[in-house]
Structures are given as C-alpha cells and as structure tokens.
A and B are shown apart, each in its own frame.
Chain A
Amino acid sequence: MHHSLSMPETTLNARITYDDPLWFKDAVLYELHVRSFQDSDGDGIGDFRGLIERLGYLADLGVNILWLLPFYPSPLKDDGYDISNFTDIHPSYGTLDDFRKFLEEAHRRRLYVLTELVLNHTSDQHPWFQQARASRDNPLRNYYVWSDDREKYPGARIIFTDTEASNWAWDPISKQYYWHRFFSHQPDLNYDNPEVLEEIWRVMKFWLDLGVDAFRLDAVPYLIERAGTNCENLPETHAVLRTLRSRLERSYPGRFLLAEANQWPTDVRAYFGDGNECHVAFHFPLMPRIFMSVRLEDRKPIVEIMERTPAIPENCQWATFLRNHDELTLEMVTDVERDYLYDEYANDRMMRLNVGIRRRLSPLLENDRRRVELLNGILLSFPGSPVIYYGDEIGMGDNVYLGDRNGVRTPMQWSGGWNAGFSTADPEKLCMPIVSNAVYGYQAVNVESQRRSLHSLLSWTTRIIRIRKSTRVFSRGTLEFLKPQNHHVLAYVRQYRRDIVLAVNNLSSCAQAVELDLSQFHGLIPIEMFGGNPFPRIDQRPYLLTLGPYQFFWFRLRQI
C-alpha cells in the first residue's frame, strides 16, 4: 500500500559533492541533539535555527559530519526514537523549511549531515500503528507483528531490562499482543511485509532528496523475527539491508548507511556484507574496553578486542566513540568485566541504567584532563571514523538524577551567562535543566571561556582533530600493535601507503619507561606530531621512551 509523502520544495544543495566515494572514511563525526544545542526563539527548546547559528563553531572545531538525534514528530517517550511521523520535523525544533536552511548552511561549511533512520519500530502514536490496531482486518495490520501467544519467540532477550518484562505487549483495542524489542510504546515494524520496506525506502528518499548525506540505522539487528532464534542478526535482516543499500547506491551515490548494531565485532561484520550492506558500523565492544584499560592501567582489553575484530571490506569503515547519547553500554563485556566497570565507574547506583552507565566522558574520568586527552588520543588514532558527543569537547558534566538517559542530554554550555547561552527563556522553561554544579556547571565549563584559552580542552580538541585530519593514515591505515614488556603502554603503528604513524599511550597514572621494537623502521626519524620536534633516529636497538602519567605521543616516522 502506497502512502504519498509531501515532497520537499527544494532539492540537494549542489555545494556538497561526493568526489571520493569513500569520503566517510576520513570523517570525524559530531553527535548532537537539536533540542539541547541552541534555542533561537526563547521557548526553552533547541531548534534548527539555533543550530544554524552554531554551525560556525562546529566548522571551527573541525568535525565533518553532524549526526543529529531524532528530530521528528514524536510523543517523546524515548527522546524522539518513538517517531509518529517519519517525514516531518517536530514543531518544537522548527519546520521543514528550517531544516532545509540548516542543510544548506551546513553544506556551505562542508559539514555533512547524518540523520536517524529508526527503521525497526515506530511510536504507538504513528498513524500506521493507529490504523493497524484499529481492527484485525485493517490494511495496515500487517505493518506490525501480532500474536495471540505472548510466549512466541522465547529466545529473544529483553533489551530494556529495567522497564520491560516481555517483548510482547497487549493491545486492548484489537485484543492481540504486538511485538516490541524496546519500549512497549514502540511497536516493531514487520519486515516480512514487503510494503514496510517500500514505506521505509520512501522515507529515505524523502530525506535524501532534501540533501541528507547519511543515515544511522537504529537498532538494525532486530528487524526480523524467527521462531527458534534469538531474533537478532538474521539472514532476512541482511537481505533488507542489501535492498536498501543497492537502491541508495543506484539513486544516491556517495551517501552512506551507518549501522547501530550493539554486537560482537564478528557479528557486526555481517552488516558490512561484501561491501554491499552498511558502509559504516559502530564498534561497540571497543568503547567499554578503552575505559577498562585505562582503569586497569593495562592494554590487554583493548588489544584483545582489536585482535578479535575481523577485517572489513575496503569500502567500509568502523565508527568508534567514547560516549554518546545512550548509556555506556556494557552488553558486550563479560560478567566479570561488567562488575568491574560498574564498581569503578558507577559506584552510585543512580549512575546505572539498563545494562550500562549513564554518564558523560569527563565525569567518568573524574574530570581528569590527562585521561580525557588520553582517551581522545586513542579514539582519534585508532582505525575508524571517530564520533565526538556534543559537549565532551569542553568537558561537560552530567546530571544522573534526570531519569532515563536525559542526564547526558542537557543543554550545551555556550557561555557563563543566562542559561549558559543556550536560551533566553526563563530557566524553569528549559527543556532540560542546565548543569550548574561547581565543577561542571556552565559558569565553569563553557565554550566562550574555553575559546579564550589556547590551552583549554576545546582548543586542544580542535587541535587534535586537525592533526588527525592532516593524514589519512588514521582513517585508512593498517593497525599493528607493538607489544612491549610494559603492559601499561599501548603502542601501535598505523600505516597507509608511505605514511607511517607510531602512537604510544601510557595508560598508567604513573610515569613509565618503555622499550619499543621499532627495528623494522630502522633509519626513520620520529617527528612528534603535536609540536613537530624530531626525536632520535630509530636504529636496531630497542627504542626507549619515557611517558608521564596518562601521556601519549603520536610520531610520524619519516625518512629524512
């Protein structure tokens, strides 16, 4: 069944081009919530016009892709991931025209835009579901998954363990259970119905025609259900993705798909297919292991997970991150590791949510600038396209008392002035209270003050992004771990064509000496990439380096 969509008045801004089909591999992503970024009209809620005002800041920061959290009409029971209209803008954030203007301005600054494609489910307020539940013989009934038996698919785990007791919810109107992998107000779409796929493709075309450059495919492993399985990562799910990918390639070359599949790397690997499914996928298990490594002061967790990470097709890329809008998910760790991370990073139970920790980067690291830099250094020197979560570039704090994951979605802190420069509304009217404690509050942590200092975290982040982007070795190079005796030191060589970079990270709170076997680079001269100073030439002997607590070096190894 076809439903007409209102088509945009203007099409893709011609300024943005995709000359290099693999452009996304070199990107640095910046994730933000329109609602929390900048309010332009004083209603206390961020909007697209506000975001447009801040594009210059983002361009200066050096990021390439803006990943926008859901901005669609929604009852907002799951922060916008419960969408009630896939092809419009939530009135709080503006209009489609505002969005078009935003795209144009972003593209003018060569900022690409990635939006959410929540293709697994809708809100129960979506017209599709409202019709589907109206009667069992409604033409849209089959857009969702229904059953008289709430024990069906017993192998499927419950994801939101804190709130949901079952993956089935009773619909009192049509008197049948409907399937939901997430909240019960988010019924899953039925991809066994070909019409659903066509609907989603029409949604994609709508935004692609407007000029959106990429989609993040939310909750992608759960599209299909089959008896006798755990209903995750099924072959039929991959078939759906291949279909969408081929249509995208054919009609919109240069655009890309990013898979959100919180799975082990070997399982996520399948989402790349043979380079014919998703272009990019998040590497979920790496993130908790970075945090674990720095707390253990031992490289083992990072090295192990990377060595367990399979190779991916040449035209694909991992997306890596330290923090995002969700909790620091601990699904992809062992029980022992999870207990350790909880104890070390979330000793207050308020910090825990579902199977994870709802905290921002700086509070997780106890506001230790050295560790914040170290973790960013690892993120930005590792394979993959890194994602920076809004506010982490200035060391914003969180508010774990706001419920759900709202504590990491508080307004961006632009200045020490009224409402942190986020909005002119009365503070009581703000969509979310601004963090205002003595350590992380907006008077202490804000963009304006950090812009004034060359040594602020913001200035440092800007600088490291620039260095990361100065060579493709970080985004496209091979990764080879060095394994010095000193386990506190994480060292690796990235190599892309003739470009070689050595990264050496001290995971320990103490100064460390390390001897690296660099004999394969005999004769090359390490040039420290932040200051440009040459270090002693490499010879056949172990190369001795000393590092301060949590210090890291990036060296370009040059033949001079």
Chain B
Amino acid sequence: MDSIVSDEFLRQITAIGQVDVLVSVPTADNRHTIEHAVNAVQIGLAKYFPRERTALMNVDAQSRDGTPEIVREAAVRDFQSYLAPTPLRSSPIITASCHPSLGQAGALRLTLTAADLLRAKACAIVSPDVASLTPEWIDALLRPIYREGLDQLTPIYQRHRFAGLLVRNILAPVVGAVYGYEIEEPAPDEISFSGVLACHLLAQDVWQESFMRSGALMWLTTTALAGNFRVGQSFLGPKVFAARHFSPSLAETMQSAVGALFKSMEEHQAFWRQRTSSQAVPLFGFPVDVEIGSAHLNRKKMFEMFRSGANAISSILAEILSSPTLDAVLQAANTADDHCYFSDELWTKVVYEFAASYHRGVMNRDHLLQALIPVYRGRISSYLWENRGAHLEELRKRREVLHLEFERMKPYLIEKWFGET
C-alpha cells in the first residue's frame, strides 16, 4: 500500500514523539536564504516558546543546491545575543523530501502528517526566502493558535500600496463575501493552524486533485472557514523577499490562487450558500500603516494588454460572461483614452460570472482562468488610475467599498452559480 510517509520520515517522527509546536519550512533550491529562515525560526521558538516541545521541519522538493544539508546543519550558536534564552530542550529538525510535481500539496500534506503524528498543538508554515522574516513572526503566527485557542491564522503584511493586487481585487473580496469572513491574505505563504485543524485537513479527500499542486494554501483557508474553525489574523509587519530565483507569472498565480478559490467554492457550496453576511475575525499584533518597497507596474501597458486581449478572446469571454457584462467589459477595453474605468460593480459581476462558469464547466477550466487574465489587467489598470494619488488609508477604505460590493452582489453569484433567480 502506498504511503506518503517514508521509513526515514517515520523514523524521525518516532524519535521526536510529541511536540507542542511545529514550524515547517518548505524549500526548493533555497540555499542562499534558508539559513536565515531556519535561524529565525530557531530563535523564535527559543524566545517565545522556551518551555514547549518544539520541532522545525523542512520539506524539500528535491533541491539540487544542498538546501537540506544547510537545514540539517543550521544551528544558533549564541541565543543570548538574540535576547533569547538557550533552549531548555533539544531542538530537533525533521527533514523530509517530496516530489516537485506535487507542489504545495506535497509539502502541506507532509507537514500536516507530521503535525498529526507528533500531536502538535500549533503548527506554522513559513517561506524560505523572505528577507524580512524575524523570530517575532514565529510568535505572531503561533501564539494565537497555541495560547488563544484559534485554529487558523493568516498574516497581514505591511506592503507597498499596490502590492498584492490579485489578493485585494479577487481573493480577499470573494472570501469575505462568499465565506463571510474578512481575511486580508487568504492564500499566504505564511500560515498557521491548530493540530485539530491539521487532522481535519488531512482527512479531506482532495490530495490527488490537480488544483492542490499550487492552490493548497488557498484551499486550507477556505476549508478552515467552511469547517467553522476559529480563524484569525496576525500582523507580521513588512514582507520583503530575498532575491527570488523563481517568481510565478500572473498566469500561474491565476491558475493556482483563483483556480483553488473557485474549486474550493465548489467544495464548500453548501456552506457558503447559507452565509448572508460577513464578519471580522480576531486580529493580533500591532498594525503599522507605513508603505514600504516599490511596485513596478506599467499601467498603460497593462491597459493595452487588456484592450488587445479582451478583443482577441471576446468569443471565449462570451461563453463565460453574460452579454451585459461582456459588453461593459469590451466598452471599457475600447475606450478612447489610455485608461479605462472598471467599476466595482462590473468587476464583481465579472468575478462572479467567471466563478459560476468555472463551476458549470462551460469550458476547460484552465482556459477559463487564462481568459480572466486580460480582464483582470483591465481592472487593475483602472484601479491604478483611480488610486494613483491615494494614501494607504484611502486605499483601505476603497477596499472596504469593494468588499461591500462583493457582499451586496452575493445573491447575483448564487443566481449564477445555482441557476436560481
């Protein structure tokens, strides 16, 4: 019988026995950044969980640059200089390997398995390549789970005002309106969850599904919401990547994040159909509204890609969108100026109609998601133009307006999705 648990992995789990807190760092050729990540985790565990049984786990997608070896040898020599006590206990490191083709799902499943077998009370996943990762992130991610009894925690990052546009224009408003919980980062690289939720997730029959390869974290959040687990958010501060050897394209992100969201909506339709309003979730940490970094966005080019793309695939869009919606989209694409106006209402209809068409299987789902890209570019082009002088506070209010629009239009989604009037 096939098992995802290798003998070596089981041997390591057996040796550790039980932990209170588990932190997993998935890697794939991260030799230049992994030591920083591992040390930050080790210091964070020593500093904020000095008495707990902790373990660090590395799930490596068959790196060829020696990443797992660096993880195995990573050790903090002097905790005191980091204002952390020398750990009372041993600090075991679990190293596991998964095939790259399994993507996010492979690392997540092994992490959940370890959390289950080790009976971890709290578990976090952190990226191997975030330069701004500090020991404090470990506290921010795990404390609400371990001490406050939450089941899942997503981060809130301090970012450039135009960073994370896909999240702010699709993922967050859809999750807020459909699932009824206001989550700023529904599919983050950093996430934490309880042992109870880990067991629940592990028992779901989705692990062979193709969307899980890149959308597992999106699925994790929505599954927690649909399971009525206690969710929350925690301020992590700035998120700055170290030089990334791999940055997913918009097409890949659309496939993974939006695809996973639409797929999750199918899985959880019985749940969200009943939700009539959204609610805030508990927030932890101290928010800082300071803009950081820069975003290299060429609005004009984006608008041109929208115009050419929307016109080129209008026949495909016609299969996905209703006529009034398609007309409005094409009207925006063919405006005489070098910018368009893509209203919140129109954008909400677009997203909901794409979701419904995805559900109804009007075409190949990958193709459908590809077709969303030019329309998304139009929306972003409009968003950037409208908010070109906006401050962070104004943008936050704009997001709230958009969320309300998605919420207001939820009956429209239900109508399209379930074929009801």
A510 x B18 contact (CB < 8 A)? yes
- Across the two chains, which residue of chain B brings its CB closest to A296? B89
| Residues of chain B within 8 A of A484, CB atoms compared | 15
A297 x B53 contact (CB < 8 A)? yes
Size band of the interface chain A makes with B:
20 to 34
Q: What's the Cα separation between A340 and B86 when bound, in Å?
A: 13
Q: Is B361 on the interface with A (CB-CB < 8 A)? A: no
Q: Is A372 on the interface with B (CB-CB < 8 A)? A: no
A334 x B85 contact (CB < 8 A)? yes
Q: Is B88 on the interface with A (CB-CB < 8 A)? A: yes
A488 x B17 contact (CB < 8 A)? yes
B15 x A514 contact (CB < 8 A)? yes
Q: Is B51 on the interface with A (CB-CB < 8 A)? A: yes
**CB proximity of B24 to chain A, nearest CB, Å:** 18
Contacts known (A486-B16, A488-B17, A512-B17); A299 close to B85, Cβ less than 8 A: no
- Across the two chains, which residue of chain A brings its CB closest to B90? A487
Q: Is A300 on the interface with B (CB-CB < 8 A)? A: yes
A487 x B15 contact (CB < 8 A)? yes
Docked complex: B13-61 residues within 8 A CB-CB of A: 14-18, 50-51, 53
Give how many B residues have a beta carbon under 8 Å from the other chain's beta carbons. Answer: 17
Among B16, B90, B92: residue with most chain A CB under 10 A = B90
A299 x B88 contact (CB < 8 A)? no
| Residues of chain A within 8 A of B17, CB atoms compared | 297, 486, 488, 508, 510, 512
B15 x A485 contact (CB < 8 A)? yes
Q: What's the Cα separation between A297 and B11 when bound, in Å?
A: 18
Q: What's the Cα separation between A510 and B118 when bound, in Å?
A: 12
**CB proximity of B20 to chain A, nearest CB, Å:** 11
**CB proximity of B417 to chain A, nearest CB, Å:** 48
Q: Is B12 on the interface with A (CB-CB < 8 A)? A: yes
Q: Which of A299, A340, A512, A515 contacts B51 (CB 8 A)?
A: A340
A486 x B14 contact (CB < 8 A)? yes
Docked complex: A222-279 residues within 8 A CB-CB of B: none
Contacts known (A486-B15, A488-B17); A296 close to B88, Cβ less than 8 A: yes
A485 x B92 contact (CB < 8 A)? yes
A298 x B90 contact (CB < 8 A)? yes
Residue interface mask A512-526, B partner, CB < 8 A = 1: 111100000000000
| Residues of chain B within 8 A of A488, CB atoms compared | 17
**CB proximity of A428 to chain B, nearest CB, Å:** 45
A515 x B18 contact (CB < 8 A)? no
Residue interface mask A329-344, B partner, CB < 8 A = 1: 0000010110010000
| Residues of chain B within 8 A of A340, CB atoms compared | 50-51, 88
**CB proximity of B265 to chain A, nearest CB, Å:** 41
- Across the two chains, which residue of chain A brings its CB closest to B46? A336
- Across the two chains, which residue of chain A brings its CB closest to B119? A510
Q: Which of B14, B16, B88 contacts A336 (CB 8 A)?
A: B88
Q: Is A292 on the interface with B (CB-CB < 8 A)? A: yes
| Residues of chain A within 8 A of B90, CB atoms compared | 298-300, 487
Q: Is A70 on the interface with B (CB-CB < 8 A)? A: no
| Residues of chain B within 8 A of A297, CB atoms compared | 17, 53
Residue interface mask B75-97, A partner, CB < 8 A = 1: 00000000001111110100000
- Across the two chains, which residue of chain B brings its CB closest to A488? B17
- Across the two chains, which residue of chain B brings its CB closest to A341? B88
**CB proximity of B68 to chain A, nearest CB, Å:** 16
**CB proximity of A346 to chain B, nearest CB, Å:** 15
Q: What's the Cα separation between A460 and B362 when bound, in Å?
A: 77
| Residues of chain B within 8 A of A515, CB atoms compared | 11, 15
- Across the two chains, which residue of chain B brings its CB closest to A299? B90
B50 x A336 contact (CB < 8 A)? yes
Q: Is A221 on the interface with B (CB-CB < 8 A)? A: no
Docked complex: A279-306 residues within 8 A CB-CB of B: 292, 296-301
| Residues of chain A within 8 A of B92, CB atoms compared | 485, 487
| Residues of chain A within 8 A of B51, CB atoms compared | 296, 340
Docked complex: A457-490 residues within 8 A CB-CB of B: 484-488
| Residues of chain A within 8 A of B87, CB atoms compared | 300
| Residues of chain B within 8 A of A298, CB atoms compared | 53, 88-90
Q: What's the Cα separation between A296 and B90 when bound, in Å?
A: 10
- Across the two chains, which residue of chain B brings its CB closest to A487? B90
| Residues of chain A within 8 A of B11, CB atoms compared | 485, 515
**CB proximity of A3 to chain B, nearest CB, Å:** 52
Q: What's the Cα separation between A486 and B18 when bound, in Å?
A: 11
B16 x A300 contact (CB < 8 A)? no
Q: What's the Cα separation between A488 and B18 when bound, in Å?
A: 10
B89 x A485 contact (CB < 8 A)? no
Q: What's the Cα separation between A512 and B14 when bound, in Å?
A: 7
A301 x B88 contact (CB < 8 A)? yes
| Residues of chain B within 8 A of A513, CB atoms compared | 14
- Across the two chains, which residue of chain A brings its CB closest to B92? A487
Q: What's the Cα separation between A340 and B87 when bound, in Å?
A: 12
Q: What's the Cα separation between A336 and B83 when bound, in Å?
A: 12
Among A297, A487, A488, A510: residue with most chain B CB under 10 A = A487
| Residues of chain B within 8 A of A486, CB atoms compared | 14-17
Q: What's the Cα separation between A484 and B16 when bound, in Å?
A: 10
| Residues of chain B within 8 A of A510, CB atoms compared | 17-18
| Residues of chain A within 8 A of B12, CB atoms compared | 485
| Residues of chain B within 8 A of A512, CB atoms compared | 14, 17
**CB proximity of B94 to chain A, nearest CB, Å:** 10
Q: What's the Cα separation between A334 and B84 when bound, in Å?
A: 13
- Across the two chains, which residue of chain A brings its CB closest to B12? A485
**CB proximity of B194 to chain A, nearest CB, Å:** 21
Q: What's the Cα separation between A30 and B13 when bound, in Å?
A: 42
B88 x A292 contact (CB < 8 A)? yes
| Residues of chain A within 8 A of B88, CB atoms compared | 292, 296, 298, 300-301, 336-337, 340
Docked complex: A157-214 residues within 8 A CB-CB of B: none
| Residues of chain B within 8 A of A487, CB atoms compared | 15-16, 89-90, 92
- Across the two chains, which residue of chain B brings its CB closest to A303? B90
| Residues of chain A within 8 A of B16, CB atoms compared | 485-487
Q: What's the Cα separation between A90 and B281 when bound, in Å?
A: 72
**CB proximity of A516 to chain B, nearest CB, Å:** 11
Q: What's the Cα separation between A508 and B85 when bound, in Å?
A: 23
Q: What's the Cα separation between A301 and B11 when bound, in Å?
A: 23
- Across the two chains, which residue of chain B brings its CB closest to A511? B17
- Across the two chains, which residue of chain A brings its CB closest to B87? A300
Q: What's the Cα separation between A336 and B84 when bound, in Å?
A: 10
- Across the two chains, which residue of chain A brings its CB closest to B51? A340
| Residues of chain B within 8 A of A334, CB atoms compared | 85-86
Residue interface mask A73-84, B partner, CB < 8 A = 1: 000000000000
Beyond A296-B51, A512-B17, 19 additional pairs, beta carbon < 8 A = A296-B88, A297-B53, A298-B88, A298-B90, A300-B87, A300-B89, A334-B85, A336-B88, A337-B88, A340-B50, A340-B88, A485-B12, A485-B92, A486-B15, A486-B17, A487-B89, A510-B17, A510-B18, A512-B14
15 contacts between A and B (CB under 8 A): A296-B53, A296-B89, A297-B53, A298-B90, A300-B87, A337-B88, A485-B11, A485-B12, A486-B14, A486-B15, A487-B89, A487-B92, A510-B17, A510-B18, A515-B15
The 6 closest A-B pairs by CB, nearest first: A485-B15, A486-B15, A487-B90, A298-B89, A336-B85, A300-B90
Interface positions of A (Cβ within 8 A of B): 292, 296-301, 334, 336-337, 340, 484-488, 508, 510, 512-515
